[in-house]
Every structure is written in structure tokens, then in C-alpha cells.
Amino acid sequence: MTKASKSFSILFVAPAFILYTVLVIIPVIFTIYYSMTDWNGISKPDFSGVENYLRLFTSSDYWRVVGNTVKLVILTLLFQVPLGLIFAYLLFKLSWGFKLFRTIYFMPVIIAPIAIGVMFSLFYNGDLGPLNNFLGAVGLEGLQRNWLSDSKIVLYSVIFPQVWQYIGLFVVIMLASLQSIPQELFESAEIDGANSFRVFRSVVIPLMREVILICIILAVTGSLKSFDHAWAISKGGPGSSSSYIAILMYKEAFKNSNFGYASAVTMTIMLYALTFTIISKKVGSKNEVQY
Amino acid sequence: MSKRVLKLLCLTIIMIFSLAVILSGCGSDNDTSSSDTGTKAASDDQSARKVTLRYAYNWTTGDSKGQYYEPALKSYMEKNKDTVEISLEGTPGMEHKDKIKVDLAGNNLPDVFMYWTGEADLKPLVDGDTILDMDEFFSASKNTKKEQWNEGAFSSSKVGGKLFTLPVESFKGFFLCNKALFEKYKLQYPKTYAELKTVSKVFIENGIVPINMASKGGNPGHLFLNAVGYQLKDGWKDSQTIAQTKKYNTESNLNAAKIIDEMRKEKMFPSDTIANGDWGPAVALYNEQKAAMVYCFPWKIGDIKKEIADVSEVVPFPKMEGAELSTDDFAIGGVSMGVLINKKSFADASKKQAIIDFVDYLVSDAMFTELGKASMMPAKNVKLDASQLNALFVKAVDFTSTQKFTYDPTWALFPGSDTTQSYADALDELFAGAITPEQYVEKVQTAVDSAK
């Protein structure tokens, strides 16, 4: 590369780099600083070292919300990504109505999460909502519950709409990847006698490995910073039964005015997300498949 | 230089300029509100120049007061457009508090803003030296004077004996009964807890929720809890002195929690107290005649359907067993919101007069008259024309004016704002039956102990 072309390369990269630095890197640096202070958002931050982290890691509330977040991550990985892949494959095999079904699957994704949350909070209302009414109407009164007040099930009530909403996102991503697989590979597999399931297992999944990994990373990192659905439906309650780490962060910052402690909570979200991403990339980069 | 190189250079310069414009837009334009008083000696020319003020409030979309408040604000803006430009920052509900906290953290506090009263909320702003001592405002204003309020209205607006807000919205809780439902089942309005249990059984047998009361984020349950608890021995005293004693695990608070727990077990509340909690659904069941009674507040009157309001009676809150105070004599209430002034903005000579004039308008009789149409109880002494007001609001005001005392909710009396979230969370759990009354009291006590 000549000096001139290097300079132009730098010039073209510079705006995005500057924006990224100003909007992401610098706030992260400030958050690291604030996480080591005692700050109510009004007075000057008072440096407190690792006190916030010590308080955090010895707090039962924190580990409770971490547990809730881990459950969300597990259920997201069990349902959102696999169902996204299965629906994408089914769509791929469709001979008609492809665009219609793709639109239907993707529609929930474009709705604001807060709107979905408010909608489900009405569905779940034990006294006025349609869910319990429907269960009663079809003779399933035994399944009627206080979906949001029962601390044993409220977390799952809150997880369901979130997992459901974003299946469509992974359908679209995986569908795009499926469509980039050469048609000859499918034809070869069919000639060799493979059925749909065998093609799916032996051709589709290995070739989509990278994309599946990216979807897993997106699903996990998205779950780690979840806030909207739980806040709209139950405000993380009763107590912290349906709270995630991000809700704890929000409550500490904006309800308790503990911006320093909230920053420490934020840093743990970043730490978990980064750790997972690095491990996933390392594990995923082995045994790449090419035909 | 070749044409290609020249083209690339021009494109780069355009991109860099675009970036510069974007970044300058991200910067704070706070310079005008965080002045360093270098312009104290204002000339006559300065006062004639158009001033920009930022006003933040929460009576906007979703609040019944918004339909009167915002047109009133816009009317002022229109009349004074030659001398002042007011940038309105309306954020609904409790999110307004979050917005102000973010503004504070970013050193970008609006020039004038509404905020909640109570030491827990005001003290951090006072300690940060961000808000104006209102005695300075009263000295400077020709139209607004302290005497226009009763002294009692200022109690939750003071910190360290100094006044920091101009009280705007006051409130008192009142107990409503659906007369039609009571007549349908041939019941009398309950005067005691025992009678409340009796009528509740009848309603439950007929598929009606006795009391439309729940808790999500502590609302509105904390007010109901106080209406129960303050009747008991030392109930009000324990709350009144909590900032000094830092004791929540008292007998009165435990007994109040036990009564709530018993009411829940007796199915007096909706079965799903989270789904039916918070202010949104606070009168939903009552509105649909699926609940017979509701502990209501002025800001919910606008949400009650006319046909339901017409059959609603305001009755005394039932007397609890062992009550020492009568609900004939007291209401849960106080001043919920007031107007605050950014101290730095007031010190800016170019803005001072505009702020005085605008705040005079915000607390004028004309503004209170408009807000009265939305059933807001004025904190200031002002006469409202009853013929212009909601009939249920008139009933509520007539009833509550007979109650001698107004007691602040515990929420407003905690030593710090970092206690209120734990209190709200614990209340949600108590109403949902997720914790026992003993666990509830201990949780709140732990939060009080850790308050800064």
C-alpha cells in the first residue's frame, strides 16, 4: 500500500473510528471510573476504589438477578436460536408464500419491546386479562395463575414474550445464510439419498456454523442487557423475582441515586458479555467446515 | 493533483465536516444555564433581548392534567414569544424523575422544573447546591408571595428549615364505594374492619373484587398501607419521626403489614396485585364494576367513567381493630409536586426576570383554575368555581375538607431516596404474598439502616 493510499484509508476510517470512540469507548472509560466512586449523580464523585464491587459480589440481590439473567440466557439459547434455525429451514423449503411467512415471522421484531411488554402485562392480568379468561373458557381452569404476582412463575411470564419476539430476527439472519449455500450441495445430498433431516444435519448446520455462532453471541449479549420487557410487565417484581442485571442497574442509578454502584453493575454486564464472546469465538473457530 | 485524488479529498473534507456537525450537536448547550455570574450587572438592553428557558414537567400525555396544563403553557409562550422562548420538556409519570436525575448528572438541569416534594427527594438537590432557596424568589417576585399558601403547605417543601419548592399539587386520599353494587347486594358501607370483612365475603361470592387495591413499584399500595397503619397506636408518630429515629421495625408498622396480609388472604384485593398495581390500572376494576371499593386519589378521578362516578360515594376509610386515630380526623396526603428553580439560572441576570415572570404564571390563580378542571387539589389558597369542576372531585374535596389533619405518606418521610425503592419492592412482595409481614418490616429496616 502506498503512503497516499494509506492516508486516504485512514481518512475514510477516521469518522467511524471517532464516532465509535466518542460514543462507546469514552463512555466505557468513564463508566469504569464511576464504578469506583460513590456518586449520587449530583455532588462530585467520591473515589471509593473497589468498594462497589465488593458490595456487589456480596449482595444476595445481585446474585439473585444474575440467576434470573442466566435463566433468560439458557431459555433464549434453548428456544430462540434453534427455533429461528428450524423456521428458517422450513421457510427455505417453502415453494410458495415465502415472502408472506418471512414477513409474519419478522413482524414482532419491529415492534418496540415496551409495547410488547405492556401488551403482555394486559394479557397476564389475572382478573381482567384474556389469558386466564381463555383458559377458563376451554375448561383449563387448573392452569389459571397469577402470572405476575406468583414469584415462582413471574420470571417465566416475563421471559416468554422476549424469547418469542426475537425468534423472527434469527429466522431472517439464518435464512439469508441458507440462501447463500450453493444449491448444488443440496442437489448432491439428495442424489446421494439424504432426506430433509439428514440434509439439515449434515449440510446446513455445518455450513452455517459461523452464522449460528454469531446468532448465539447476539442472543446471549442481548439477554445480558435485557430490560424493557421485564420493566414494562412487572418492574422486575415482586421484589426482584423477575429482575435482570440491567434492571438492578436501573433501579440503583435512577431510583436509589447510586450511580457509582450502578456503574459497577454495568461493568459486570460488559464483563460477562465480553467473556462469553471471546470464549465463543475461540471455541467456534475450531473445526470450520467447507465443502 | 489528479482529478481522482481531488475528488477523494473533497469527499473526505465533506465527511469530516459532517462529523463535526454531528459532534457539535451532541454537545451540551448548558452554558446558558450554568452561568458563572459574570453578567451580574445586566444592562437595560439585555433584558429586552429574547431569552430561552427550559421547563421540564410531567403533566403531559397520559396524565389527565396534561389536557389543561399544556395548552395553558402554550398560551403563555404565545403571549410572550417576543421576549422569551420556552423549551418544553414533558416526560410522563415517574420517568420525569429519571430525566431530572440524568440532567443533574450531566450538569444540564433545566432552568425551571417540576419535582416531587419531601426531604428524601429534595435533600440531594439541596446538598448539591442546585436549586434556589425560594425566599430569594419571593423577595424578587412582585406577584407571588408566601402568604398565598398556608404554612402547612410548605412542610414537605423545606430542607433544613429553608423552602426549596413552590407547592403546586396537593392531594388527599379518599375511600369510594360503588353505591349501585352495595344496593344490589343489600349491603351497608363498612365503617369498621369487621364490617369490611363481612361485605367483602358477599362481594367475593358474587365474583366481585372487594377493594381495587394493589402494589407495583409500591403504587398505590403504600398509601393504602398508611391509611391502615396511621390509625394504629404510634402509627403516624413512627412515620413522622423515621428520619430521626431510623426505626421502621416498629409494632405499628408490623401490625399494619399484618392487616394487609390478612386482607390479601381474605381475597379483599385482586388476585394479581402486580398486574393490577401501579397508577395505570389503579381504578380499572372499579371502572368496570368488577371491584366495589377503591382507595382513590385526585389524579385518578379523571379516569373514572362518568356513569361510575355518578354512583360513587365518598365514605370514611374503615376503622381498623385497635385504632387510636379516627379516619374522620385525618387523611393521607400532602403536597406531591412543586415548582423548582435552577439556582445557577436564577443567578444569570439575563434569565432572572424571565424566570420570575414564568414561575409567577406557573403558580398563578389562573393556572390553578385550569388544573382544577383536571381535578387537581391546589396546594395554594385559591377559590375554584365548583360548577366548572368534576362532580366526584367536588364530593372528594367536600369530604376531605372535614378531616382536620393531613398526614404525609411514609414514602416522603424516609431519610433518603435510596430507601424508597427497597420500600416499594418490599411492598410489592407483601401485597403479592411473597413475603411475610415480619420479612417485609425487616427488609425495609435493612434499607433504612443502609441509607446514606
Name chain B contacts of A241, Cβ cutoff 8 Å. 434
Which residue in the set A22, A41, A149 is minimally distant from B23, CB to CB? A22
Name chain B contacts of A257, Cβ cutoff 8 Å. 101, 124, 417-418
Interface test with A, best of B274, B287, B427 (most A CBs within 10 A): B274
Domain B49-171+334-388 has CATH 3.30.1490.100: no
Task: Note the pLDDT of residue B149.
Answer: 95
Q: How far is A75 from chain B (nearest CA, A)?
A: 23
Name chain B contacts of A259, Cβ cutoff 8 Å. 105
Is-contact A109 A168, C-beta < 8 A?
A: yes
Which residue in the set B19, B128, B429 is minimally distant from A19, CB to CB? B19
Task: Note the pLDDT of residue A287.
Answer: 57
Question: Quick one: closest CA in B to A250, which residue?
Answer: B98
**B216 with A234: Cβ contact below 8 A:** yes
- Gap between the Cα atoms of A67 and B194, Å rounded: 43
Question: Quick one: closest CA in A to B1, which residue?
Answer: A4
Tell me the pLDDT tens digit for each residue of B309-363: 999 999 999 999 999 999 999 999 999 999 999 999 999 999 999 999 999 999 9
Q: How confident is the model at residue A284 (pLDDT cuts 50, 70, 90)?
A: confident
**What residues form DSSP beta bridges with B53?**
B86
Judged by DSSP in three states, A220 sits in helix
Whether A175 is covered by a domain: the verdict is: yes
Q: Nine-digit cell at A134?
A: 381463555
Tell me the pLDDT tens digit for each residue of A264-282: 999 999 999 999 999 988 8
Task: Note the pLDDT of residue B38.
Answer: 42
Question: Quick one: closest CA in A to B8, which residue?
Answer: A8
How much is the average pLDDT of A38-44?
90
Query: Strand locations in chain A, DSSP E?
Result: 37-38, 46-47
Inform me whether the pLDDT recorded for A289 exceeds 60. no
Judged by DSSP in three states, A289 sits in coil
- Gap between the Cα atoms of B386 and B401, Å rounded: 14
How much is the average pLDDT of B184-191?
97
Inform me whether the pLDDT recorded for B28 exceeds 60. no
Strands B291-296 and B209-211: parallel
Residue A3 class from Cβ within 10 Å (0-12 exposed, 13-18 middle, 19+ buried)? Answer: exposed
Top pLDDT among A197 and A62 is at: A62
The highest-confidence range among B15-19, B63-67, B145-149, by mean pLDDT, is B145-149
**What percentage of chain A carries pLDDT values higher than 90?**
73
How much is the average pLDDT of B246-267?
97
Question: Quick one: closest CA in A to B430, which residue?
Answer: A238
**A41 with B271: Cβ contact below 8 A:** no
**What percentage of chain A carries pLDDT values higher than 70?**
97
Name chain A contacts of B289, Cβ cutoff 8 Å. none
Query: Which residues, in sequence order, are CB contacts of A150 under 8 Å at separation 6+?
Result: B432
Is-contact B276 B218, C-beta < 8 A?
A: no
Task: Note the pLDDT of residue A128.
Answer: 83
- Gap between the Cα atoms of A101 and A91, Å rounded: 7
- Gap between the Cα atoms of B177 and B399, Å rounded: 14
How much is the average pLDDT of A136-143?
92
Which residue in the set A11, A126, A253 is minimally distant from B272, CB to CB? A126
Whether A34 is covered by a domain: the verdict is: no
Query: Which residues, in sequence order, are CB contacts of A64 under 8 Å at separation 6+?
Result: A240, A243
Task: Note the pLDDT of residue B92.
Answer: 92
Give the Å distances, CA to CA, from A84 to A219, A227, B198.
Answer: 11, 22, 54
The model carries a pTM of 0.86
**A237 with B421: Cβ contact below 8 A:** no
Which residue in the set A147, A154, A258 is minimally distant from B418, CB to CB? A258
Query: Which residues, in sequence order, are CB contacts of A256 under 8 Å at separation 6+?
Result: B417, B418, B421, B422
Q: Flag the least confident range among A184-193, A249-258, B235-244, B309-318.
A: A184-193
Task: Note the pLDDT of residue B120.
Answer: 83
Give ∠ CA A74-A80-A82 in degrees, rounded to 5: 95
Q: Helices A154-165 and A60-75: crossing angle, nearest 10°?
A: 40
Task: Note the pLDDT of residue B301.
Answer: 94
Q: Which residues span the domain enclosing A147?
A: 60-284
Q: Flag the least confident range among A97-111, B28-42, B406-420, B428-442.
A: B28-42
- Gap between the Cα atoms of A206 and A199, Å rounded: 10
Judged by DSSP in three states, B294 sits in strand
Top pLDDT among B189 and A99 is at: B189
**A150 with B18: Cβ contact below 8 A:** no
Name chain A contacts of B274, Cβ cutoff 8 Å. 146, 148-149, 154, 234-235, 237-238
Q: How far is B133 from chain A (nearest CA, A)?
A: 17
Whether A150 is covered by a domain: the verdict is: yes
Give CATH 3.40.190.10 domain extents, chain B: 49-171+334-388, 172-333+399-449
**B16 with A15: Cβ contact below 8 A:** yes
Task: Note the pLDDT of residue B168.
Answer: 97
Q: From chain A, which residues contact B within 8 Å (Cβ)?
A: 4, 8, 11-12, 14-15, 18-19, 22, 40-43, 121, 124-129, 146-151, 154, 234-235, 237-241, 251, 253-259
Name chain B contacts of A124, Cβ cutoff 8 Å. 272, 275
**B272 with A257: Cβ contact below 8 A:** no
Query: Which residues, in sequence order, are CB contacts of A122 under 8 Å at separation 6+?
Result: A128, A129, A130
Q: How far is B236 from chain A (nearest CA, A)?
A: 25
Specify the amino acid at residue B292: A
Q: Which long-range contacts (CB under 8 A, 24 or more apart) does A141-148 make?
A: A146/B271, A146/B272, A146/B274, A146/B275, A146/B432, A147/B272, A147/B275, A148/A121, A148/A124, A148/A233, A148/A234, A148/A242, A148/B272, A148/B274, A148/B275
What HEC string does B39-87 produce? CCCCCHHHHHCCEEEEEEECCCCCCCCHHHHHHHHHHHHHHCCCCEEEE
Top pLDDT among B383 and B57 is at: B57
- Residue A110's CB is within 10 A of a number of other CB atoms, namely 9
Q: Nine-digit cell at B343?
A: 439556582
Judged by DSSP in three states, B268 sits in coil
Name chain A contacts of B418, Cβ cutoff 8 Å. 255-258
Q: How far is A150 from chain B (nearest CA, A)?
A: 7
- Gap between the Cα atoms of A79 and A172, Å rounded: 16
Q: How confident is the model at residue B255 (pLDDT cuts 50, 70, 90)?
A: very high
Task: Note the pLDDT of residue B248.
Answer: 96
Query: What DSSP assignment string belongs to B124-157?
Result: HHHHTT-B--HHHHHHH-SS--GGGS-GGGGGGG
Q: What is the CA radius of gyration of chain B?
A: 25
**B217 with A237: Cβ contact below 8 A:** yes
Q: How confident is the model at residue B31 (pLDDT cuts 50, 70, 90)?
A: very low
Q: How confident is the model at residue B27 (pLDDT cuts 50, 70, 90)?
A: very low
- Residue A38's CB is within 10 A of a number of other CB atoms, namely 18
How much is the average pLDDT of B214-234?
96
Task: Note the pLDDT of residue B24.
Answer: 55
Question: Quick one: closest CA in B to A125, which residue?
Answer: B275
Inform me whether the pLDDT recorded for A1 exceeds 90. no
Task: Please count the residues of chain A.
Answer: 291
- Residue A252 is part of a domain; what is its CATH number? 1.10.3720.10
Is-contact B216 B278, C-beta < 8 A?
A: yes
Q: How confident is the model at residue B217 (pLDDT cuts 50, 70, 90)?
A: very high
CATH of B172-333+399-449, one of 3.90.650.10, 3.40.47.10, 3.40.50.720, 3.40.190.10: 3.40.190.10
Q: Flag the least confident range among A287-291, B87-91, B355-359, B384-388.
A: A287-291
Give ∠ CA B98-B121-B383 in degrees, rounded to 5: 100
Element (H, E) at B272: none
Inform me whether the pLDDT recorded for B36 exceeds 70. no
Give the Å distances, CA to CA, from A56 to A72, A254, B25.
Answer: 21, 17, 36
Q: How many domains does chain A have?
A: 1
Is-contact A252 B452, C-beta < 8 A?
A: no
Q: Flag the least confident range among A195-199, A210-214, B91-95, B243-247.
A: A195-199
Inform me whether the pLDDT recorded for B42 exceeds 80. no
Q: How confident is the model at residue A12 (pLDDT cuts 50, 70, 90)?
A: confident
Question: Quick one: closest CA in B to A257, which residue?
Answer: B418
- Gap between the Cα atoms of B352 and B348, Å rounded: 6
Task: Please count the residues of chain B.
Answer: 452
Q: Mean pLDDT, chain B, as a whole number?
A: 90
